[in-house]
Structure 1
Amino acid sequence: MPQPAAVALDGPRDSTGGPPAGHRTGSEFAPLLRTVRDHGLLGRRHAWYARVIATNALALAGVVTALVLIGDSWWALPLAVPLAVLFARTAFIGHDAGHAQIGGDKAVGRLIGLVHGNLLLGLSYGWWNAKHNRHHANPNHVDKDPDVAADVLVFSGEQAGDRSGFRRWLTRNQAWLFFPLTLLEGVALKVHSFQDLRRQPPRERAVEGALLVTHAVAYVTLLLTVLSPGKALAFAALHQALFGLHLGLAFAPNHKGMEMPDPDGEPWGHLRRQVLTSRNIRGGALTDWFLGGLNYQIEHHLFPSMPRPHLRLAQPLVRAHCRDLGVPYVETGLVDSYRQALRHLHEVGEPLRADQAP
């Protein structure tokens, strides 16, 4: 059934993380915003983030120290596993900084993002933040959300119909290829980051480019200083593959297989645009940690600047509000979320498989 189209949220967002200042929120979102604000859930958690950042930095330093102490041995390769996990933690911190969850000062947020993105990960904070903000404005909208634009994967029948050659083969098999492809995501993010430097203003290009190069030089120097070239290459390949897989595991459950607004339909308000296109993941403290709080995807999309530890506190309020409105609030287990996402990718590729059948 065709679904209403999402409407772009143009203009600056207010400090609550809701729609832009001056944008009509409508009767559905406004009462929820007041309730959340009255509970103090939009307030900052500086001490919590300070502990998270410090703990992550110490853990990274610990893994690097262990790598140096082990030296040129194949026993160093298992350290690629915790390093990949910590790189994902670093990405989550950069994500929160980009949403102004850590603090209201844009300069401080950008500094945190540059350190955790460009310097520590080799990932352009400016490129990712601009792309991610477009996603938040119009989630799952094929014309406006860059995360569902036709690329290696496609997410709608219309996109699948335009495929040819090798890309057509990819689409036919994309459900099976999804997780193997995430093994390349760590490297792909670095490539996109360098490519985007051409788009950035000269001053930002200089800063971001210098930090990206610093990361690359430091990463290669560390591995080649400690390990022989063959072991260094194996460590880097394993580390980057697991980092990409971890990011794929964290981002795949959030929107894949959820409602995709019809560009020609009626517009949705802010609440429906964010709730109907998002999926939450059930779980406890381990799930929160593993997914970096993105398991509360509905709450995060409704209130992007809400600090990560407040998302679980907002969940009962959002769920109750959606229930009162009769708006579907989708929450499932982690494994089932992957099943739903892969089923959607499989269904999108079905017409191409049918055309291939003898």
Structure 2
Amino acid sequence: MCGSEERPALQRLTWAEVRERGGGRGCEGHWLVIDRKVYDVTNFRLRHPGGPRLLAHYAGQDATDAFGAFHLDPKLVRRFLAPLQLGELRDTQPSLEPSKSLSLVEDFRRLRAVVEGAGLLRPRPWFFAAVLAHILVLDGLAYLTLRLGGTSWPALTLTALLLATVQAQAGWLQHDFGHLSVFGTSRWNHLLHRFVIGHLKGAPASWWNHLHFQHHAKPNCFRKDPDINMHPLLFTLGKALSIELGVQKKKFMPYQHQHRYFFFLGPPALIPLYFQWYVFFFAVKRRQWQDLLWMLSFYVRFTLCYLPLLGLPAFLGLFFVVRFLESNWFVWVTQMNHIPMHIDRDQNRDWVTMQVQATCNVDQSLFNDWFTGHLNFQIEHHLFPTMPRHNLFSVAPLVRSLCRRHGLQYSSKPLITAFSDIVASLKDSGELWLDAYLHR
């Protein structure tokens, strides 16, 4: 029977054995490699703070650089890993799988050591305090605008714009706490994460963790990155997947028109029509009661502030207009870095190649930094996800140099170009699907 035999301690394994016996299929379950040591995470993944799927995505693969990227204190975490060690690679086995570039990996690890030595992973608490303060000020101004200005259209419009800005900026700030990039310890990051995403936005931190860490672990990898789960139900994404879908004669939507219906089913609809109800479903289904209480505190506060001033119809109208504006802001910013880039199934590439091929930057400016929450430095953020956003600009020249030395395309573009490239890439992949659907 599966799992009935005891595994010998410290097995000497080959990469082929790790892939075949620990790749998430059959009896052996989920194994992964960190610094040549092989760990059996089959049961531990169910207790993993980042969610079970995150470890499953690396089953049968090397996770050394991903492990270093996600943890504030890798040495501490290794103590928890020790009981899970199954064995290690044989001396005759290379440190990396054949699909990965040793020179690039070694070069990146040297870069990471330089980054750590320069203190670029250390946050400036005052920076994030200022970000939080400006969000709270805008939130207060929104309430005062309506209370003092009455329910005229100018007052309602300004209030909606201010509240949408609060929601967008709180979204970027919760992203910082979620990535553990504000405090030096996980505990305070997790606490403030719940406050910002729960009390200021009305969403569960556990839901964000479940989705976003998978995205970072395997960006633009079909079936592993939840951010591209819209393929193929609503959109067809990426050249390879679009052609494959067409060859299979699958048609869930008229994809040749997806660059047009994206303006209706994408930016304006994601939050008010989907996230708005799904976050409650997630919290209840996963029994995340603490997250649910934080979420309810947002709705109680919002209701007590605005319902007495507006009455029920106008109150509901204001709420969904804010969600509509927030959704447009959120979708355009979060998709501009990924949708136009390489999308395919997991090719098990090295950490740097995988991240750079799946991401692009937007040119730096004070407005772009604020408007995107520094997600305009998406390449650097994906390579160093725990790096505080105020340091991403400093590491960018080093990353650009690394990419140049190894022939990787480092893409940075104006904000408007980044937005238009979303539509252009949807148009291209829709045409590729149609050609394959009709002629292959």
Match of 2:47 in 1: none
Structure 1 window deviating more from structure 2 (293-302 vs 217-226): it is 217-226
Q: How many residues align?
A: 343
Conserved 8 A contact 2:198-2:205? yes
Structure 1 window deviating more from structure 2 (93-102 vs 222-231): it is 222-231
In the alignment, the residues of structure 2 paired with residue 36 and residue 345 of structure 1 have an alpha-carbon distance, to the nearest angstrom, of 36
Identity %: 26
From 55, 60, 67, give the equivalent of 2:139: 60
Q: 3-state DSSP class of the match of 1:141?
A: coil
Match of 2:206 in 1: 126
How much has 1:278 moved relative to structure 2?
Answer: 0.6
Mapping of residues 233-272 of structure 1, within 5 Å: 233-263=316-346, 265=347, 267-272=348-353
Conserved 8 A contact 1:16-1:303? no
Conserved 8 A contact 2:380-2:392? yes
Match of 1:291 in 2: 372
Match of 2:279 in 1: 193
Conserved 8 A contact 2:218-2:224? yes
Tell me the TM-score normalized by structure 1. 0.87
Q: 3-state DSSP class of the match of 1:268?
A: coil
Q: 1:269 to 1:216 in 2, by over 3 A?
A: same
How much has 1:273 moved relative to structure 2?
Answer: 1.1
Match of 1:98 in 2: 178
In the alignment, the residues of structure 2 paired with residue 144 and residue 217 of structure 1 have an alpha-carbon distance, to the nearest angstrom, of 36
Conserved 8 A contact 2:234-2:253? no
Q: Which residue type is aligned with residue 176 of structure 2?
A: D
Conserved 8 A contact 2:223-2:345? no
Give per-residue Cα distances to partners, 1:127-148, cap 9 Å, x unaligned.
0122100000000001211111
Structure 1 window deviating more from structure 2 (22-31 vs 268-277): it is 22-31
How much has 1:228 moved relative to structure 2?
Answer: 3.3
Tell me the TM-score normalized by structure 2. 0.71
Match of 2:268 in 1: 183
From 188, 192, 200, give the equivalent of 1:108: 188
User: What are structure 2's unaligned runs of at least 5 residues?
Assistant: 1-56, 82-94, 97-101
In the alignment, the residues of structure 1 paired with residue 413 and residue 62 of structure 2 have an alpha-carbon distance, to the nearest angstrom, of 28
From 7, 11, 15, give the equivalent of 2:72: 15
In the alignment, the residues of structure 2 paired with residue 259 and residue 333 of structure 1 have an alpha-carbon distance, to the nearest angstrom, of 19
User: What are structure 1's unaligned runs of at least 5 residues?
Assistant: none
In the alignment, the residues of structure 2 paired with residue 214 and residue 49 of structure 1 have an alpha-carbon distance, to the nearest angstrom, of 22
In the alignment, the residues of structure 1 paired with residue 290 and residue 432 of structure 2 have an alpha-carbon distance, to the nearest angstrom, of 47
From 344, 349, 354, give the equivalent of 2:425: 344
How much has 1:183 moved relative to structure 2?
Answer: 1.3
In the alignment, the residues of structure 2 paired with residue 198 and residue 231 of structure 1 have an alpha-carbon distance, to the nearest angstrom, of 29
Aligned-CA RMSD value: 2.7
Conserved 8 A contact 2:138-2:162? no
Q: 1:29 to 1:49 in 2, by over 3 A?
A: same
Q: 3-state DSSP class of the match of 1:168?
A: coil
The alignment status of 1:154 with 2:236, answered yes or no, reads: yes
In the alignment, the residues of structure 1 paired with residue 149 and residue 212 of structure 2 have an alpha-carbon distance, to the nearest angstrom, of 39
In the alignment, the residues of structure 2 paired with residue 44 and residue 189 of structure 1 have an alpha-carbon distance, to the nearest angstrom, of 30
Q: Which residue type is aligned with residue 196 of structure 1?
A: F
Structure of higher RCO (CA pairs closer than 8 Å, 6+ residues apart): 1
How much has 1:345 moved relative to structure 2?
Answer: 1.3
Match of 2:220 in 1: 140
In the alignment, the residues of structure 2 paired with residue 274 and residue 82 of structure 1 have an alpha-carbon distance, to the nearest angstrom, of 34
